[in-house]
Amino acid sequence: MTNIPILFEDGEALVINKPAGLPIEKPRKGGASLEDHLEQLKLGFQRAPQPVHRLDTDTSGCLLLARNPKALKRFNKAFEEKLVSKTYLGIVAGPVEEEEGTIDLALSKISSEARGWRMIVAKKGKPSVTHWTKRKELDGGITLVEFRPETGRTHQIRVHAEHAFGRSLLGDPVYGHKDARVSRTMLHASKLVVPRENKPEIIAEAPLPADFVKLGAE
């Protein structure tokens, strides 16, 4: 049996609780990845399940896997048509003044030899929308925020948080800086809802990780 927790399972889908620090694809420099677990995640099926979407290596939580090519195609379409509801919890490395809001900032990818690639806010970038709600003020002046992205751009929540709040997510080495209190960028995919035709929707919730609990986010 795999040691990755399964949050939802039926004949065409699995939702796993991806651990923080585990990349979905095998890194160029080698090392562990989700690919190493896909055989174990067959769970009696002939085919290994395939990830439908992406989570950053540091991001923990709900990840949808399709158990056959037809399901993969249908789930991809649901994501493309923005029918999938995604909820994330993030810890912002500072105070958040307002209670809720919507961040509407187009994003574009840039790359430089010195800093590698990153996403930036750019008028000619791809439309990117994130709704957010302040959940809790934590000790040390940091804030637990719920994010509900409408679009699914790379690093969307991380860049939007930094621009909207003037602070990155805690521990983000790209859009902020590393923090001694944590060992990763503090972002967790807490809930996923995927509608399906002629079938009950997929609903999965990932419990709060230990590093969030340690900071008082429960």
Identify the sign of the CA torsion 72, 75, 80, 84. negative
Per the CB < 8 A criterion, the answer to whether 212 and 218 are in contact is yes
Q: Is 76 helix (H, G, I), strand (E, B) or coil?
A: helix
Query: 37: which DSSP letter?
Result: G
Residue 56 annotated among the catalytic residues of the structure: yes
Distance CA 131, CA 139 (A): 24
State the amino acid at position 69 in one-letter form: P
Given the residues 10, 36, 56, 139, select the one marked as catalytic.
56
Report which residue type is found at 86. Answer: K
Kindly report the number of other CB atoms within 10 A of residue 186's CB atom.
29
Task: Provide the annotated active-site residues.
Answer: 56
